[in-house]
Amino acid sequence: MIRLSTKGRYGTRLMLNLAQHYDNGNGHKAVILKNISDDERISIRYLEQIIIPLKINRLVKSIRGAGGGYILARKPEDIRLSEILHALEGNCCLVECVEDESFCEFIETCPTFPIWKNATEILKGYFDSLTLKDIVGMAEKKSKQGKTKAR
Amino acid sequence: MIRLSTKGRYGTRLMLNLAQHYDNGNGHKAVILKNISDDERISIRYLEQIIIPLKINRLVKSIRGAGGGYILARKPEDIRLSEILHALEGNCCLVECVEDESFCEFIETCPTFPIWKNATEILKGYFDSLTLKDIVGMAEKKSKQGKTKAR
DNA sequence: ATAATTCCTATAAATTCATGTTGATATCGG
DNA sequence: CCGATATCAACATGAATTTATAGGAATTAT
Ligand code: FES
Ligand code: FES
């Protein structure tokens, strides 16, 4: 399987959770990991590890102490999925050599290299086209539809 | 990183190697793993494991005993990259739930599900558009260019 | 028979995934 | 100031998975 690691998946859900609770009125209401843990059923300990690179890459801000928590560093419409995955995974290549050309020895003659490279670019393009706001919007629309259909 | 496993990568190179040695004149010249191992710098023992699913999914035929080896079960133009990856990885989804919907509990409400699903379909579409012949052709063209350019 | 080769099973090594521990540091409300 | 709440940091640990190697049995051409 071509796998998106749990780090990438859980980190994306973490960011979406923050986006859903993002207060546009600038109330700066921080969300605590415990809540995200309950919502998303991911252990707090693991979330703590996952949020570190998100903080380092300035996608979230932390507020320490009582009443603290995390908030998005920017508006949801200004954060792209590609940035999140890049922060979490270092890169989002299908194979190492696409980003680090010294990884494979025979990159010049390797017949698969252009394939993995193209595929990576296609994926990146898709993830780059989506902001957190887009994704939250898609999810809201979907859940509204679900309620309308009586089933 | 969104990773294609070594199984998928090595298996693809294995198949390409067989495609490059495929005899259209129906000479049925089998290729032994030792040669592929030398060409691709992958341990024979590992290749033996990787080729099993390729055999089960009837992408290669094996000929046992002395003078034996492996050959493609079909012509290179009739084998798609998507088939190879599917054989090797069981599926080629970014996340398990795209193929096995019971994998995640809250698939109905999960805001990331449609994203991973779309991305998976985009990738699959690309891999489905390529046959072994296409890839070998691309590689040959590239190596010819390399020779022309005196550098 | 012998050599070549696939086939089968076991297992070692490395990495990823996930939880746990301890304790320090920062902040808020009372 | 005190006590509760949370982040922060550095580990440790175990389970699961992936990656890779190894030994030998079965099969076949010569
Ligand atoms: S897989 Fe990296 S160059 Fe072929
Ligand atoms: S990741 Fe599987 S449903 Fe959300």
Task: Residue A33: give the domain boundaries.
Answer: 6-150
What is the number of structural domains in chain A? 1
CA distance B12 to B4: 11
Please report, rounded to whole angstroms, the spatial distance between the CA atom of protein residue B74 and the C1' atom of nucleotide D6.
62
**Token pair listed for A38:** 């309950």
- Judge if the beta carbon of residue A119 lies within 6 A of ligand 1: no
Instruction: Tell me whether residue A1 is in a domain.
Output: no
CA distance A23 to A20: 9
Residue with tokens 């969104």: B2
Nearest CA owner, ligand 1 atom 3: A107
Would the Cβ of B63 be found within 7 angstroms of any atom in strand C?
yes
Task: Give the pLDDT confidence of B127-137 residue by residue, as tens digits.
Answer: 999 999 999 99
Specify the nucleotide whose C1' lies closest to residue B4 (CA): D18
List, in order, residues 6 or more apart from B109 with CB less than 8 Å away: A139, A143
Task: Give the pLDDT confidence of B98-107 residue by residue, as tens digits.
Answer: 877 777 777 8
Instruction: Tell me whether residue A22 is in a domain.
Output: yes
Q: Give the pTM.
A: 0.89
Residue B54 neighbours by CB distance under 10 Å: 23
Instruction: Tell me whether residue A52 is in a domain.
Output: yes
CA A7 from centroid of its chain's CA atoms: 9
Instruction: Tell me whether residue B31 is in a domain.
Output: yes
Instruction: Write down the pLDDT at residue A149.
Output: 43
Instruction: Tell me whether residue B50 is in a domain.
Output: yes
Contact A112 B1 (CB under 8 A): no
Instruction: Tell me whether residue B111 is in a domain.
Output: yes
- Angle at which helix B44-56 crosses helix B33-40, to 10 degrees, equals 120
* pLDDT tops 80 at residue B141: yes
Task: Give the pLDDT confidence of A36-56 residue by residue, as tens digits.
Answer: 998 888 999 899 999 999 999
% chain B with pLDDT above 70: 91
Cβ-Cβ contacts under 8 Å between A and B: the total is: 111
List, in order, residues 6 or more apart from A45 with CB less than 8 Å away: none
Instruction: Tell me whether residue B1 is in a domain.
Output: no
Please report, rounded to whole angstroms, the spatial distance between the CA atom of protein residue B48 and the C1' atom of nucleotide D11.
40
Instruction: Tell me whether residue A42 is in a domain.
Output: yes
Return the CATH number at A100.
1.10.10.10
Distance B54 CA to ligand 1 centre (A): 20
Task: Give the pLDDT confidence of B142-151 residue by residue, as tens digits.
Answer: 777 765 544 4
Q: In A15-37, which positions are buried (b, 16+ CB within 10 angstroms) versus exposed (e)?
A: bbbbbbbbeeeeeeebbebeebb
* pLDDT tops 90 at residue B86: yes
